[in-house]
Chain A
Amino acid sequence: MNPLNLMRLVAPECILVIFALTALFMDVATLREQSAKVRQWVVGSLSGVACLTVMIWIACIRPEGSYSMVELPAVSFLLKEVLLGLTLVTALISFDAKFTRHIGEYYALLLLAAVGLMLLISSNNLLMIFVAVELVSLSLYAMTALDKTSPASAEAALKYFLFGSVAAAFMLFGISLLYGVTGQLQLDAIAGKLQTQHLEPIHYVALVMTLTGFAFKIAAAPFHLWAPDVYQAAPTPIASFIASASKVGSFFVLARIVLAGFGSARGGAGWGHLAAGWVPVLAILATVSMVIGNLVAIVQTRVKRLLAYSAIAHGGYALMALLADEQRAVSSLLFYVITYAITVLGAFGVVAMVEHSGGRDRFSDFAGLSRRAPLLSFCMLVFLLSLAGIPPLSGFFGKFYVFTAAISGPDHLQAFWLLIVGGATSVVSIYYYLQVLKQIYVAPAPANVGSLNISMPAQIGIVALAIAVIVLGFAPGLLLGRLNDGLTLVASNL
Chain B
Amino acid sequence: MLAWTIYISFIGAALLLLVPTRYTRALALLTATAGLAVTLTQLLFPNDLDELGVLKSIINLNWIPQLGIHYHLAADGISVVLVLLTGIAALAGVLFSWNVTYRTKEFFALYFVLIGGVYGVFLSFDLFLLLVFYEIAIIPKYFLIAIWGSTRREYGAMKLALYSFAGSAMVVIGLIAAYVVSGANTFDLATLAQHPFPATFQYWAFPLIFIGFAILAGIWPLHTWAPTGHVAAPTGASMLLAGVVMKLGAYGALRVAMTLFPLGLDFWRYPIAVLAVIGIVYGAMVALVQRDFKFVIGYSSVSHMGFVLLGFMTLSQIGLSGAVLQMFSHGIIAGLLFAVVGRMVYERSHTRELSELEPLHLGRVLPFASVTFVIAGAASMGLPGFSGFMAELQVLVGAWRTFPHLTLLAGLGIILGVAYTLRVMVLAFFSDKNAQSSTYRAGVNAISLPEKAGAILLLSMAILVGLFPSVLLDLILPSLHSPLFERVWKGGAP
* Chain A residues within 8 Å of B, Cβ to Cβ: 331, 385, 390-392, 396-397, 400-401, 403-404, 407-408, 412-413, 416, 419-420, 422-424, 426-427, 430-431, 434, 438, 441-442, 476-477, 480-481, 484
Cβ–Cβ contact B146 & A442, under 8 A: yes
Q: Which of A396, A412, A484 has the most CB of B within 10 A?
A: A396
Which residue in chain B gives the minimum CB-CB distance to A422? B173
B162 within 8 A of A: yes
Residues of B within 8 A of A331 (CB): 66
Cβ–Cβ contact A392 & B132, under 8 A: yes
Q: Which of B128, B173, B179 has the most CB of A within 10 A?
A: B173
B468 within 8 A of A: no
* Chain B residues within 8 Å of A, Cβ to Cβ: 63-67, 128, 131-132, 135-136, 138-139, 142-143, 146-147, 154, 158, 161-162, 165-166, 169-170, 172-173, 176-177, 179-181
Contact among A407, A427, A430, A480 for B64, CB-based, below 8 A = A480
Cβ–Cβ contact A477 & B66, under 8 A: yes
How far is it, in angstroms, between the C-alpha of A419 and the C-alpha of B175 when the chains are bound?
A: 11
Which residue in chain B gives the minimum CB-CB distance to A473? B132
Cβ–Cβ contact B180 & A407, under 8 A: yes
Q: Which of B146, B165, B166 has the most CB of A within 10 A?
A: B165
Cβ–Cβ contact B66 & A416, under 8 A: no
How far is it, in angstroms, between the C-alpha of A480 and the C-alpha of B66 when the chains are bound?
A: 8
Cβ–Cβ contact A419 & B146, under 8 A: no
Cβ–Cβ contact B146 & A404, under 8 A: no
Cβ–Cβ contact A438 & B154, under 8 A: yes
Contact among A401, A424, A477, A481 for B169, CB-based, below 8 A = A424
Cβ–Cβ contact A441 & B173, under 8 A: no
Cβ–Cβ contact A396 & B132, under 8 A: yes
Residues of A within 8 A of B139 (CB): 385, 390
Residues of B within 8 A of A422 (CB): 173
How far is it, in angstroms, between the C-alpha of A34 and the C-alpha of B162 when the chains are bound?
A: 54
Which residue in chain B gives the minimum CB-CB distance to A388? B165
What is the CB-to-nearest-CB distance from B102 to chain A, in angstroms, rounded to a whole number? 11
Cβ–Cβ contact B161 & A430, under 8 A: yes
Chain B interface main SS type: helix
New contact pairs (19) apart from A408-B180, A419-B177, A434-B158, CB-CB < 8 Å: A390-B135, A390-B138, A391-B132, A391-B135, A397-B64, A407-B177, A412-B180, A423-B170, A423-B172, A426-B169, A427-B165, A427-B166, A434-B161, A438-B146, A438-B154, A442-B146, A480-B64, A480-B66, A481-B66
Cβ–Cβ contact A413 & B64, under 8 A: no
| A442 with B154, Cβ < 8 A, contacts A401-B67, A476-B64 known | yes
Residues of B within 8 A of A427 (CB): 162, 165-166, 169
Which residue in chain A gives the minimum CB-CB distance to B135? A391
How far is it, in angstroms, between the C-alpha of A404 and the C-alpha of B175 when the chains are bound?
A: 9
How far is it, in angstroms, between the C-alpha of A314 and the C-alpha of B389 when the chains are bound?
A: 51
Residues of A within 8 A of B172 (CB): 400, 403, 423
Q: 7 shortest A-B CB distances, which residue pairs?
A: A391-B132, A423-B169, A423-B173, A419-B173, A442-B146, A427-B166, A408-B180
How far is it, in angstroms, between the C-alpha of A444 and the C-alpha of B368 when the chains are bound?
A: 37
Residues of B within 8 A of A404 (CB): 67, 176, 179-180
Cβ–Cβ contact B173 & A392, under 8 A: no
How far is it, in angstroms, between the C-alpha of A408 and the C-alpha of B165 when the chains are bound?
A: 24
Residues of A within 8 A of B162 (CB): 427, 430-431
Residues of A within 8 A of B177 (CB): 407, 413, 416, 419
Residues of B within 8 A of A476 (CB): 64
Cβ–Cβ contact A441 & B147, under 8 A: yes
Cβ–Cβ contact B65 & A477, under 8 A: yes
Cβ–Cβ contact A403 & B66, under 8 A: no
Residues of A within 8 A of B147 (CB): 441-442
| A431 with B158, Cβ < 8 A, contacts A404-B176, A419-B177, A441-B143 known | yes
How far is it, in angstroms, between the C-alpha of A480 and the C-alpha of B138 when the chains are bound?
A: 27
Cβ–Cβ contact A391 & B136, under 8 A: yes
Residues of B within 8 A of A407 (CB): 176-177, 180
How far is it, in angstroms, between the C-alpha of A412 and the C-alpha of B176 when the chains are bound?
A: 12
What is the CB-to-nearest-CB distance from A269 to chain B, in angstroms, rounded to a whole number? 15
What is the CB-to-nearest-CB distance from A271 to chain B, in angstroms, rounded to a whole number? 13
Q: List 7 A-B contacts (CB under 8 A).
A: A404-B180, A416-B177, A427-B165, A427-B166, A434-B142, A438-B154, A481-B66
How far is it, in angstroms, between the C-alpha of A404 and the C-alpha of B180 when the chains are bound?
A: 7
| A477 with B63, Cβ < 8 A, contacts A413-B181, A442-B143, A442-B154 known | yes
How far is it, in angstroms, between the C-alpha of A201 and the C-alpha of B1 when the chains are bound?
A: 65
Which residue in chain A gives the minimum CB-CB distance to B62? A477
